[in-house]
Amino acid sequence: MTMPEETDVPVYGADSITVLEGLEAIRVRPAMYIGDTDIRGLHHLIWEVVDNSVDEALAGFATLCKVTLREDGSVRVEDDGRGIPVGIHAKEGIPAVEVVLTKIHAGGKFDNSAYKVSGGLHGVGVSCVNALSEWLDVEVHTEGKTHRMSFDRGVRRGDLQVVGDTTRRGTTVTYKADPEIFTTVEIDYEIVAKRLRETAYLMGTRGLTIELVDERTGTREEFCYPEGLLTFVANINKNKTPLHSDIVHFVKAVPSTENPDDEYEVELALQYTDSYQEVIHTFVNNINTHGGGTHLAGLKAGLTRTLNNYAKREKVVKDNETLPSGDDFREGLTAVLSLKVPDPQFEGQTKAKLGNREAQGLVESVISDLFGTYLEENPAPAKAIVLKAVRAQQARDAARRARDLVRRKSALASGNLPGKLADCQSSKRDETEIFIVEGDSAGGSAKMGRDRRNQAVLPLKGKILNVERARLDKMLGHTEIQLIISALGCGIGSELDLTKLRYGKTIIMTDADVDGSHIRTLLLTFFFRQMPLLIDGGFLYIAQPPLYKVTAGKHARYLTDESQLRSFLLDRGAEAVTIHDANADATWNGAELRELCTDLERLDKLGRDVAPAWARFSLAALLDRWNGTTLPTHWARFAGEDYFFDTHEEVAAFIDLQQATNSSLKVYAGPDSGFTPAEADAVVCHLAHIEEIVRILLALTQRGMRFQGGGSWEVRGGKHTATTTSLFELASLVQKSSQADVDIQRYKGLGEMDAEQLWESTMDPETRILYQVTLEDAIAADEIFTILMSEGVEARREYIEQHALEVTNLDI
């Protein structure tokens, strides 16, 4: 990568840091700064630190960003950029790195001298991470020295120290999220990998490599895409059939019309497929702008104008024919637009929508120019794109006629009801809801059991059309889809108008069997493809009908799944039985027994995930290594024997020792080893969840539970006693002990419930469980709907083969 001339590089020193306000409010109201304190907020901390490294790469000073998920639950992010300045800040009188870590809105991005573009203007950066961490360490490698500073919950532990000499440069931030703040501190590898992969696509042409290491499992990935958006689009379209083989790609820098000293950079990659959906992803300074904005408007306008001009000029569309609309020209389009903006104006803290007005004209101009050139130089793909739009227009005209027919048949405006819809009495959207139910049987129970004041019911007959495989005109000719559109009243696709939506909640209510899951999936496909604003606006829900009804005496309860049933039986059993360990002369009952069983169940579950399936690892072998305080974190099997280690280095030394006597020793460490475990002389792996397992073992030890040397336990209840030598069978025996006087009814479908049962279990707002449908990752959602619902059989087969072993509850 070419570095800027020294004379051209703006000074990035202590005085580049601008302080706007303090840090005190973050721990008090963390959701104001990171959205929430659940899984999303937890991962937002990683994005804040990574974005700093990415901004260094955008400025041309970093080529590497490495993210490590450490075994102790902490996260380390390191880069090879310039390093946060360590000089004394003129205004604050403390090192600039301390300012950055302890002051909200402090950084080098509030004037354009240090960074020309950045995504962090609205954010609170690493100061927020510092405030919400149990502890944070920062190391800055600059000018031949390593500087270190540490914090506890945002409070510095000591002064900035020089801890050694170095030839490195850059910043390393290591932190551990505070369990007092977050509901969970367990980092999800897949969430991190998806975000980093997306960032690497956007930064590929900038020479940035992103590494992700998970020390908990030994997983390591490197994301580096020198072709950037080209690879991004190719990956999105990998399960689709392209209309043209090449991917259109261009980059152009243009001066701002409002401030000539500022410069925008427009980068676009696009390809058309035979799909009926458009897939457009837009980014501003590497921020995913899910809500679109002015740059998206410019993209759409530029494409429509350019293709219309080409269609007229080349006579692909005759003079007396109507030109296709923008929607027609975008059918089957996959596009990724990345815009670099010197002073981005986002609408709201979430940065989901760009507000810079001049961006629209600049993007439209660039696309009209460069895409127009592509069409002229590539007549075959150009003609194919326009002809696809013409076919889309014809289908859209047919759909419009079908839609007009539906509207004429529907008399919603005059008070009549479409099809089998049982409407509610209230017309106030915010207090009403509609249940879309499966079949007339469940529909009849729902209609009788509902609250007629604010609950409407729409029964559907059979499975609706798979809209992933159907063009608009065919979709609108499907009776059940016509009913849904008419009942909701807000239109679909580009005509969707949320102000006309008739109900505040649209609730999908299907059976808990495989057919119900299929119908729910078809409905979700319809809403995702044709009514995505219902999802974005939080209007779409899934009902959770019960799987069980348990009756004890005169009291009945509804339970949604197996785990709730186990919990119910454990609660009852803990009050009725006693566990006795004859060898240790220990006894447990009541609340202590309930807590013990909960810990044992959790330990059993963790034990199944502690090592990969190919390792055929036994949790019992690990428990034999329990010394009262710690457990090993690595394991190997060699010559039929188990070996345990505390570090990766110990494993490497062990393997080296064995290879010293057998140079051809084959060691299996995962699917990338090049051979199967059966063909290996030794297998090794990192053991997961050790920290949580140790916490559980410590709690069980304090209650008097033993783990080594075998044992025998008695479960005593009334006149009955059961004996087991399996530690993990205890919870099951406690559950069984409580079943004698409990009637357990398992429901296979909604039709098995009468109106009163359906109301009590699934429709009563006071007791029911609803899941709100949200869209976390539009790219991943598009991919999974394409794989599972389109006509591509091979991609679907590969997905099923890859994920088959993850299924734990298969209904066949």
The catalytic site residues sit at 48
DSSP 515: H
- List Cβ<8 Å contacts ≥24 apart for 702-709: 703/588, 703/592, 703/595, 703/596, 704/581, 704/584, 704/586, 704/588, 705/581, 705/586, 705/596, 706/581, 706/583, 706/584, 707/623, 707/624, 707/626, 708/623, 708/624, 708/626
Phi first, then psi: what are they for 32, rounded to 5°? -65, -25
DSSP 107: B
Phi first, then psi: what are they for 764, rounded to 5°? -70, 115
In the structure encoding, which two tokens stand for residue 409, read together? 């048949």
Helix/strand/coil for 766: coil
In the structure encoding, which two tokens stand for residue 23, read together? 């840090």
Q: ∠ CA(121), CA(186), CA(648), 5° rounding?
A: 110
Q: Cβ(97)–Cβ(217) under 8 Å?
A: no
Enumerate residues 6+ apart whose C-beta is below 8 A from 754: 445, 449
In the structure encoding, which two tokens stand for residue 622, read together? 């690990």
User: Residue 69 forms beta bridges with which residues?
Assistant: 75, 214
Q: How far apart are CA 442 and CA 449, in angstroms?
A: 10
Q: Which helix (H) or strand (E) holds 148?
A: strand 145-152
Say which amino acid occupies 209: T
* Residue (of 147, 23, 20) closest to 85 by Cα position: 147
Q: How far apart are CA 143 and CA 366, in angstroms?
A: 42
DSSP assignment of 523-589 equals HHHHHHHH-HHHHHTT-EEEE---SEEEEETTEEEEE-SHHHHHHHHHHHHHHH-EEEETTTTEEEE
* DSSP β-ladder status, 145-152 and 578-581: unpaired
* Residue (of 587, 644, 652, 618) closest to 728 by Cα position: 618
Burial class (CB in 10 A: 0-12, 13-18, 19+), 449: buried
Say which amino acid occupies 716: R
In the structure encoding, which two tokens stand for residue 496, read together? 């969707």
- List Cβ<8 Å contacts ≥24 apart for 141-147: 141/83, 141/166, 141/168, 141/169, 141/170, 141/171, 141/172, 142/82, 142/83, 142/86, 142/169, 147/86, 147/97
For helices 379-409 and 357-377, the axis angle rounded to 10 degrees is: 120
CA torsion 338-344-348-349 (nearest 10°) is 90
Q: Which helix (H) or strand (E) holds 272?
A: strand 263-272
Q: In 303-413, where do the E strands start and end?
A: 333-340, 353-354
* Residue (of 326, 332, 331) closest to 304 by Cα position: 326
Q: How far apart are CA 754 and CA 663, in angstroms?
A: 71
* Residue (of 782, 779, 773, 781) closest to 538 by Cα position: 773
Say which amino acid occupies 449: G
Q: Which helix (H) or strand (E) holds 282?
A: strand 279-284
In the structure encoding, which two tokens stand for residue 67, read together? 């993210």
